[in-house]
Amino acid sequence: MPTLPGSEDRADERLLLGVLDQAPIAEGSTGGDALRNSIDLARWTDELGYHRYWVAEHHATPMLACASPEVLIGPIAAATSRLRVGSGGVMLPHYSPLKVAESFSMLSGLYPGRIDLGLGRAPGSDQTTAIALQRDRRQLPPDDFPNQLAELLAYLGDSMPPDHPFAHLAAALPGRPHRPEPWLLGSSPQSGIWAAGVGLPYAFADFIQPGGAAIAARYREEFQGSEWLEEPRVIVAASAICAETDAEAERLAASSRMAISLLYRGRLVAVPPVEKAVRFLAEQGASTLQTGRRLIVGSPSTVRAGIEAVAREYGAEEVMIVTITYDHAARRRSYELIAEEFGLSD
């Protein structure tokens, strides 16, 4: 396994690899099939030596099945033994901080030392769905994410001011003394500022918004230590598809490229079969398919080089890999080839 890129003075540290699973739904299959595939993939990557497995939150889309990370985290943690398991992430504006604290406290009590609580501000949906998720639908919820985050961390850390009317609720969290490890997720400068200000580890979504190295650098510069973390820590989440050859990987990547291209045009579709996607890309032409997203595609050596380059770019201690293919077996094989190339089981 390689040492941490760009950290010559920390040569004893190694680049960690994790999985960010969006639970893709293949055309012709069901959401249930996708969720069962997620559990299968978690078992497989646990055996392969990956460090962390997060499941994302998306709503009202035919392409991605996981609308409730906390529901999927439990079965995944039960099916694995070594992986840290968590959310990538919970979209906090939809929820009560206490409810999130209770859910992840329960998971931490069941699986001590293995649960991560990745938190995001994005809706994970269109505006209509975001309204439907709210209990009060007369208006959009207030833009008070920093207050929500502070309340949630106070519950988890049992640091609510004694005279606060909710102070007694922190001590009653069902998973105590265990608690999840909170992370702040983002793809914009503001998320990095918040993570630095409250002293949380930071995960940047390069697969959504590449070119965030300056955001990660600012996070490190402005980081203030906390009870959660003494020194800044960065994960970068990147898209990758690996196969035995560059050509085969490019062919498999057609499904993801077609789905993302249509997403940018406002069309939500299940992950299309490879042959259908290849025809679509040929008909559309490369000039009309630019989305600005980075996708690392190729043979094991090609993908390793791409992953290490992204890690160096962000100075990241860990890379979480997002892989969307039409065929579940191809997704399993992609993670297997990457694990072998990096020597994860060594």
Question: How does pLDDT run across 52-99, given as a tens digit for each residue?
Answer: 999 999 999 999 999 999 999 999 999 999 999 999 999 999 899 999
Q: pLDDT tens digit string along 138-159?
A: 777 778 999 999 999 999 999 9
Q: Which long-range contacts (CB under 8 A, 24 or more apart) does 208-215 make?
A: 208/293, 210/292, 210/293, 210/294, 212/187, 212/236, 212/314, 213/313, 213/314, 213/315, 215/186, 215/188, 215/189, 215/191
Q: Considering only CA atoms, which of 323, 89, 310 is closest in space to residue 195?
A: 89
Whole-structure pTM value: 0.93
pLDDT at 135: 80
Q: pLDDT tens digit string along 277-320?
A: 999 999 887 655 656 789 999 999 999 999 999 999 999 999 99
Q: Considering only CA atoms, which of 66, 128, 88, 64 is closest in space to residue 263?
A: 64
Phi, psi of 238 (to 5 degrees): -130, 145
Q: pLDDT tens digit string along 93-116?
A: 989 999 999 999 999 999 999 999
pLDDT at 289: 62
Q: pLDDT tens digit string along 217-236?
A: 999 999 999 999 999 999 99
Q: Considering only CA atoms, which of 229, 185, 222, 231 is closest in space to residue 204?
A: 185
Q: Compute the distance between CA of residue 280 and CA of residue 282 in angstroms, rounded to an integer.
A: 5
- List helix spans (H) across 173-245: 189-198, 213-222
Q: Compute the distance between CA of residue 124 and CA of residue 54 in angstroms, rounded to an integer.
A: 15
For residue 124, pLDDT over 80 is answered with no
Residue type, 94: H
pLDDT category of residue 129 using cuts at 50, 70 and 90: confident
Q: pLDDT tens digit string along 174-184?
A: 999 999 999 99
Q: pLDDT tens digit string along 255-288?
A: 999 999 999 888 999 999 999 999 999 988 765 5
Judge contact between 306 and 286, C-beta under 8 A. Answer: no
Q: Structural domains in the chain?
A: 8-342 (3.20.20.30)
Q: pLDDT tens digit string along 320-345?
A: 999 999 999 999 999 999 999 999 98
pLDDT at 10: 39
Residue type, 198: V
Helices (H) then strands (E): counts for the chain: 12, 9
pLDDT at 139: 75
Q: pLDDT tens digit string along 21-37?
A: 999 999 999 999 999 99
Q: Considering only CA atoms, which of 314, 286, 84, 104 is closest in space to residue 210?
A: 314
Beta bridge partners of 87: 55, 117
Strand ranges for the chain from DSSP E: 16-21, 52-55, 84-91, 115-120, 181-186, 202-205, 234-242, 295-298, 318-322
Q: Compute the distance between CA of residue 19 and CA of residue 118 in angstroms, rounded to an integer.
A: 13
Residues 6+ apart with CB under 8 A from 308: 2, 5, 15
